[in-house]
Every structure is written in C-alpha cells, then in structure tokens.
A and B are shown apart, each in its own frame.
Chain A
Amino acid sequence: MSSPTPTLNPDAPLPGEDDGERANRWNDLLRRIATGNALVSVLAVLLAIVVGGVLIAVTDEGVQTAAGYFFARPGDTFAAIWKAVSGAYVALFQGSIIDFRQSDPLRALKPITQTLLFASPLIAAGLGVAIAFRVGLFNIGGRGQILVGAGFAGYASFAWDLPPVIHVIVALALGIAGGALWGGIAGFLKARTGAHEVIVTIMLNYVAYYLLSFLLRTPLLQNPGSNNPKTPPALPSAQLPAILPEPFKLHVGFILVIAATVFAWWLIERSSLGFKFRAVGLNPHAARTAGINVDRMYLYVMLFAGGFAGLAAANEVLGTTTTGFTSGVDAGIGFDAITVALLGRSTPWGTFAAGLLFGAFKSGGFAMQASQGIPIDIVLVVQSMIVLFIAAPPLVRSIFRLPQPGRPRRRAKSEPKAVAS
C-alpha cells in the first residue's frame, strides 16, 4: 500500500517566492494533509476494504483448495485470492456505480441511482445522529425514531384520502413529527431528569418496535382482510413521485434529503439556535454560565434529530417501499445512521458524503451477494471497521506511520539550517 509521506518536497518552484519560505509552506501544507482528518478518513476506508478482502479471500472455497497445495504451486493460491477478491469488489463497483457490462447506457447507469436511493434514508437518519452529536448527545435511537415515524407517515398515507400534493406533504410532515416525538421523549427525559440518553434511546428502540408490532396486529395499521402484520399500501396520492423515467427507481426523497442536508448545515452553522447547540456541545457548563438554557437545548436537538430520522422513515414508506411495511421497515438504517454520522464527523456535508458511500456499499453489497454469493454481512464488517479506524486516528496514523499531531516536529529543527544554507 502506498502511503503519502509528509517529507516529500515539490520540485516545481513557484515564481516570486523565497525558496525557504516556500518549502516551509509546502511542508506545512503536506503536514496538515498528513495529520488532517480527511486523509485519516480515506486511509480508514482503504484499510477496511483490505480487511474485507482478507475475509473474502480466507473464506473463499477456491482459495482454500489452492492453499491446500500452497507449497507445491504457490501461484495458484495467489491467483485464487486475486479472483475471489477482485471478483467481489468488481461486483460491488458494478452494483453501486456503473455496470459496464450493460450495453444499454441507461441500464449501465442504473446502479448509481440505486446508490442514491439507498443513501437517502441513511443520510437523513445520519443527520439526526450528527446534530445530536454536536450537542454532545449520543442518539442511538434512530431505529425507534424511524419505526414511529414510519407508523405515523404510513398511517397518513393509507388511512386518509387527501388531494394529491397535499396528501404527500401531510404524510411527510406526520412522519417527521412522529420521529420528532420519539426523539423528543429522550430529550425531555434528559432535560428533566438527567436520564442518560444512550440508555433511554436504546430502550425506546425496543419500545417502538413492540409498539409498532402491536399496532400492526390491530385495525389501526393492519391491512384489512390480511393476517400478516403488514400495513396496506400507500395511496398513490401519498407517494413521493419519481424523478427519473421507468427503469430507475429514484424518487423525490433524494431531493428532500439534499434539502434536509442544507437545512441541517444552516441550522448548525448559521442559525442562532445552532450556535447555542454547538456551545452546549463544546462545554455545557460554560454554555450555562453564558445564559443558554442547556436543558432546553437537549430537548430541541432531540426533536430535530428525531425529525430527521422521521424524514428517513417517510422516505422509505412513501417512496421506496410503498406496498406496505412491517415492523422490520427500519432495515438496519437506524444503526447504520450512527456509523454514517461518525464517518461524516458529525458535519452535515460530511454525513452526506458518508451516506453516499454507505449507500454505495449497500447497493453494491446486494449485487455482490447475487453475483458472487458473498453474504451482504461483509458490508457490515467493512462499515464497522471504517468507523473503528476513524474513531481512533492514532491507530491509523501508527499503521501508516503518519506523524501524530501535537508531537514535536522532527523536521522543524532541520529547516532553519536548510534556509540558512
């Protein structure tokens, strides 16, 4: 694996600059890249993909057979490893970006729209986790918020008969409100009683799951005339319209998610409420001293966080699976959202990018499972490895022998000499 080293010096001199100063600046820049978070994120992804490749190679039958006579013909083993790993990752690429085997250019481009489709709920729910992080809260409750939001949005989508455009807006709003309600419970308990939000949100996940399972057996949510715990399909007037013609499945939900990301960015970075959020996140005691009502911020941010998860839920039940849903509607999005927010370093656009990456993993993972027979669980492994590596920058830096920030600069002493000579 090639690793960019911070000691490289560019050869091309820029005109009108002092030689030493320029070298210094380049060193600084390279140093910042090497110690910065972006490089760590990229390397973490690479490292996780390598680990995933090792897993695929070790469990592959062809590799195991070839390894049986490794010392007789080692080349076979390497060929088998290459075949298994490259096959898997090529399938992942074809399932998530461009399927270059397709002759029809439209069909070849379908995977990337599938990636966006899978990414939409991940981004929305990830935003909910991310803004809670910014206030210093761990919102593990994405799953529960999605389930409740789905219940609300789903109910509005089939039980009420409203005019076309109004119906979808009402259903969306109700989904967001449902998620916000569930998130708000955790925020309220945190604010009023100091109950730890991690415990409360985890427990609320299960409460929401059983509540939804119960309601799916009652006439309130169950499809009439069916014994399955499943809702009726959403009425056409409540469905999010498609934004591309037939072979594509992408719907307006993705545009809503972009809008939600812009809103989250504005909320955190530009609004006065976001300023208070960040102040509480950096130091609740200082924020309280500065006159910010910290408890109220906990409640507000959890309402927003739940609302974003509710948007993810509405995106699913009004756009992606409109044929009715079960209590499994969350499909792991709630927990994936945590890893998405962590990978995105809790910034709205970082979350957006991380959501796209994980959406690609998900879309490609299904293709990989179908064509190569590699279980989709490998995607979970890769995702969690990414986050583990990202969460511990010192680990990644020591693996790639990058400089640790805050350590005394080894080159710093030699530089003045270089300038002097």
Chain B
Amino acid sequence: MTAATVTAPERSGVGRLDRRSWKVPIAFGLVTLAALVLFVILGRDRIVSFNLSTGTDLIQLPLLAFPALAGGIVVTVVLAVVTAFAVFRVWERRPVPLWVIVIGTVVAIVGFLAWAGAGATLQVPGLLTGTLFLATPLVYGALAGVIGERGGVVNIAIEAQLLGGAFTSAVVASLTQQPFVGLAAAGLAGMLVAFLLAAFAIKYFVEQVIVGVVINVLVSGLTGFLYSQVLTENRQLLNSPVRFDRIDIPLLSQIPVIGPTLFRQTILVYLMYVIVAVVAFALYRTKWGLRLRAVGEHPKAADTVGINVARTRFWNVALAGVIAGFGGAFFTLGSNGAFNKDMTNGAGFIALAAVIFGGWDPVRATLAALLFGFASNLQNALSVIGSPVPSEFMLMLPYVVTIAAVAGLVGRSRAPAADGVPYIKS
C-alpha cells in the first residue's frame, strides 16, 4: 500500500520524530487488555465458523471453524506482539507504520467477531460486501472533506452535498434514463452546494461552520420540499432512475474472499478506487497538492509566493463538491434507486468523522470510512446471529471513536493550520 510513503511529509529528514508520541502504543495496550478480559477470561468456549466463499466462486474455500476461546488467545497474543512492536518503534523515535496499525485493527476485529459470533456461522464475504456498500458514500464524502480542509475550508456541508447529489442524480437519471448523465448531474449538484459554501466562506468571510450547518438545513428543506411537492406526484417520470449495473471484473473477481467484495461492484465503486488513488498521490506529489496544502497551512506565505489563495480555495472546494456529489449518487444510482426524503441520514457527519479520525489524510480517511462502514454493517450482521452487544452501541462506535480521536486519546489529530480561518488579504 502506498500509505506508508504517503505520510512521509510528517517525518523529519532522517525518519526520526522529534518527540515521542505514546498514543498508538497506549491505544493498542488498551485493546490488548480488553481482548485479554473479553476473549480469554470471559471467553465463550464454543465453535465459531467463518464462511469465506460465496456460492458462485470458482475456488471454494473450506468452512473455517475453530473454538472461539483458542482464537481469542491467539488474537490476544498477536495484539500483545503488535503493542510491543509499537512500543519499540516509539522508543526508537520512529512512527508506528500504518500497516502495523491496520494489521492490529484487523486482528482485533477478527477476535471480536469470533467472540461475538461464537456458536454461529459468519458469512465473511457478505460482511465485507456490506461494509463496502455502506462505506462507499462515506469514502466519497471523506475525500471531499479532506480536500476542503487541506485547503483551509471546513466543510460541515458534506451531508448537504451528498443529499443534493442523491436528489439530482435520481431526477436526472429518471428523466434521461441514463445513469451516467445522472452521475454527472450529481457532481454538478455537489458543486453548486460547494459554490454556496465557498461564496459565503471565502467571499463574505462568514464563519464556515455556520454556513455549513445552515446549508445542511437548506438542502434538506429544499430536497424534502421538492420531493413531497413534485417527485411523489410524478414518481414514474421523475423518481424511478436507472441504476448502474454490477460489473464483474474477470479474473480479479475470482480471488477468494476479497474478489467478490472488491471486484463485483458498480462503476461507482471502481470510480471511488480511482479517485482515492489519484487524490492520495496528487495531494503530496503534484503542484496542485502542494498549492492546496500551502493555502491550508499558511495562506499568507502562499500569497507571498504568488498563489491566489481565494481562487485556489474556491475551486478546490468546488472540486470537493463534485466528489461528494458522486458519493450522493451512490445512494440512488448505486443502491436504492429512488430518492427518499433525508435518505443520507447523517452519512455526511460520519464522513466528517472519518476525515478527522483519518488525520486529514486521504488514505487514512478512506480506511476510517471503511472502519465506520464496517461498524455499521456489523450491527446488521450481529443482530441476525444474536450478539451480546446491543446494536445501538455498534452504531455509536464511529462517533465515540471520533470524540476519542479529537480529544487526543487515540492517535494525533492536528488539523491544517489555517483550517476554517478565512484569509483576508490586507
């Protein structure tokens, strides 16, 4: 994964940090402790099975079954090793690599699944596909948030952009019977909302949080009004869009476990892969990315070297709006079909949470969005097999994790220096 190189700018010259940050080891230590208590001491001594294949796979993997308690012990040991490695890295004044954090998180999740699903069979491909399904709009929204905030504009209006995209794509795709036209319209709608945000935030210097909150109300009201007033009466004409078809990528879709999840999707998901990769690369490796980060970190310095701060911010907020609009199209063209009142249901705020939890980095924010999608999907899966954890607590997880992140309990969260500060040229 390119993530390890992507975070390069945060290091100093020789890859050593000036200051030891113990937050990652402490977080993993706590997870290990929780694993010890939950999976081993309170372990449930029953068989848990993981079904790794779908019925249509070329290569059928055997059912993976093991005693939950033994699995719990293995998971706890692995987590202890990860913690020890993190302690070692921090002691050496080196950052803990992202892949170690990902491995530790995945192992902890597997342990949790084994514990919660003891005595039942878990459908792994279904779990992963559902995760990606719920995470796709979050990833789009989070990328939009990352671009905006890296440029110094706080975007609370992601929710409005998603909703606007969902509404417009449904109407346009119904009228034209062309999902691609609907997708383009969704991007345009997201951009229009972004123009509103940019105009007030950049031209009139209105507090960006206020504009964002108000735009959310405005778009919710506008789409709700038009839905009740116009769409419900002309349902056939205006609100029965053609959905994107699922495209199986040959060969790749036959990879066991991840193939059905990653490569049997609609074009919207493949587009998301491309956008994540492009943004992650361009943000740190191109002139565009450098300028964007410059106006977000130190607009005055950027202005001094001849970058037009207001214009850079304006067009990047618009670009972010297009991406969020695409994410909105997923709600209609990628899944449900018809538009429904307030159908985004707070996804924009989870995306915002992913931006912060991901430390304003595109790849980390994407991973955070996937994690949040997984948590939401897990509560569906667990309620089916009857889990010991109430579903509300699983749904609460993204928000609690984000509060912990901004409070500095897990990881480091440092926003771009000029995030949310209007640049008033004197």
Q: Which residues of A contact B (CB under 8 A)?
A: 55, 59, 138, 140, 189, 192-196, 198-200, 202-204, 206-207, 210-211, 213-214, 217, 335, 338-339, 342, 374-375, 377-381, 383-385, 387-388, 391-392, 394-395
Contact = CB atoms under 8 A, between A and B. Distances in A.
B407 A189 contact: yes
Given A138-B209, A207-B396, A210-B395, A392 B218 contact: no
Contact of B228 (A138, A338, A375): A375
Contacts of A200: 403, 406-407
Given A203-B399, A207-B400, A339-B214, A381 B207 contact: no
B392 interface: yes
A211 B211 contact: no
A384 B396 contact: no
Nearest to A198: B209
A380 B224 contact: yes
Contacts of B396: 206-207, 210-211
A377 B221 contact: yes
Interface centre among B156, B200, B218, B406 (most CB of A within 10 A): B406
A381 B222 contact: yes
Interface centre among B221, B227, B356, B396 (most CB of A within 10 A): B221
B15 interface: no
Interface string B343-374: 00010010011001000000000000000000
A198 B403 CA distance: 11
Contacts of B349: 202-203, 206
**Nearest 4 A-B pairs (CB), nearest first?**
A380-B221, A377-B224, A375-B228, A384-B218
Given A59-B229, A59-B230, A210-B392, A338 B221 contact: no
Contact of A381 (B204, B218, B393, B415): B218
Interface string B76-90: 000000000000000
Given A206-B349, A381-B221, A391 B200 contact: yes
B213 A199 contact: no
Contact of A391 (B210, B346, B406): B210
A421 B58 CA distance: 99
A140 B209 contact: yes
B178 interface: no
B217 to A, nearest CB: 4
B399 A388 contact: no
B194 to A, nearest CB: 15
Nearest to A204: B403
B353 A203 contact: yes
A392 B200 contact: yes
A211 B395 CA distance: 10
Given A210-B396, A214-B390, A391-B207, 14 more contacts: A55-B225, A59-B225, A195-B407, A195-B408, A199-B356, A199-B402, A203-B402, A207-B403, A342-B210, A381-B225, A384-B221, A391-B206, A391-B210, A395-B204
Contacts of A378: 221, 225
Contact of A193 (B156, B218, B402, B407): B407
B411 to A, nearest CB: 13
Interface centre among B154, B216, B395, B396 (most CB of A within 10 A): B396
Contacts of B352: 199, 202
B146 interface: no
Contacts of B252: none
A65 to B, nearest CB: 13
A221 to B, nearest CB: 13
B220 interface: yes
A192 B346 CA distance: 28
Contacts, number: 132
B215 interface: yes
B226 interface: yes
Nearest to B406: A195
23 contacts: A55-B222, A138-B210, A194-B408, A200-B403, A203-B353, A204-B403, A211-B396, A213-B392, A214-B393, A342-B210, A375-B227, A375-B228, A380-B217, A380-B222, A381-B225, A383-B217, A384-B214, A384-B215, A384-B221, A388-B218, A391-B204, A391-B211, A395-B204
Interface in B383-426: 390, 392-393, 395-396, 399-400, 402-403, 406-408, 415
> How many of chain B's residues touch chain A, expressed as a range?
35 or more
Contacts of A385: 218
A263 to B, nearest CB: 25
Nearest to B206: A391
Given A138-B209, A189-B403, A200-B403, A375 B214 contact: no
Nearest to B400: A207
B213 A335 contact: yes
A210 B356 CA distance: 21
A374 B399 CA distance: 36
Nearest to A201: B403
A378 to B, nearest CB: 5
B406 A196 contact: yes
B207 to A, nearest CB: 7
B402 A388 contact: no
Contacts of B156: 198, 202
A211 B392 contact: yes
A206 B346 contact: yes
A307 B56 CA distance: 57
Interface string B308-339: 00000000000000000000000000000000
A179 B129 CA distance: 39
Contacts of B210: 138, 338, 342, 387, 391
A384 B399 contact: no
A207 B349 CA distance: 12
Nearest to A189: B407
Contacts of B221: 377-381, 383-384
Nearest to B356: A199
A202 B215 CA distance: 15
Nearest to A64: B230
Nearest to A206: B399
B403 A195 contact: yes
Interface centre among A140, A189, A192, A196 (most CB of B within 10 A): A196
A194 B228 CA distance: 43
A54 to B, nearest CB: 12
Contacts of A199: 352-353, 356, 402-403, 406
B205 to A, nearest CB: 9
Nearest to B220: A380
Nearest to B196: A388
Nearest to A215: B392
Nearest to A338: B213
B231 to A, nearest CB: 10
Nearest to B228: A375
Contacts of A374: 229
